[in-house]
Structure 1
Amino acid sequence: MGFNLGMAGLFKFKRMCAALDIKDYDKAAVEMLDSRWACQVGHRAHRLADMMRG
């Protein structure tokens, strides 16, 4: 995501970042998919969300 959005764009995912701060990777994955970015990148968003869940 950082490569695709740049770090400034990545840090706009405030709820995802908050979930990462508390190590809630399932919530972070949900927040990734609840975004315009996920619609734009399609299947890649689901692959990355699955990686986030571990």
Structure 2
Amino acid sequence: MKKIILILGLTLLSPLLISLGGLGLIYLFYDRTLEHFEIRKRMNLKFKAHVQKNLLYNN
């Protein structure tokens, strides 16, 4: 009897655990990509400022 209850409990809980794990992975991936875009945006702004400064000094 205990085995049946255990198996039923696991079959009911496993989709929930899998979906939570999937959400965790998506959140980690999303967080990383946001961080990556922030870094790229900052680098891009620095590069633009650098180019504009060069244009000012060259003219």
TM-score, structure 2 as length reference: 0.22
Larger gyration radius, structure 1 or structure 2: 2
Task: Name the structure with the higher helix share.
Answer: 2
TM-score, length of structure 1 as denominator length: 0.24
Q: Which has the higher contact order (CA 8 A, sep 6+)?
A: 1
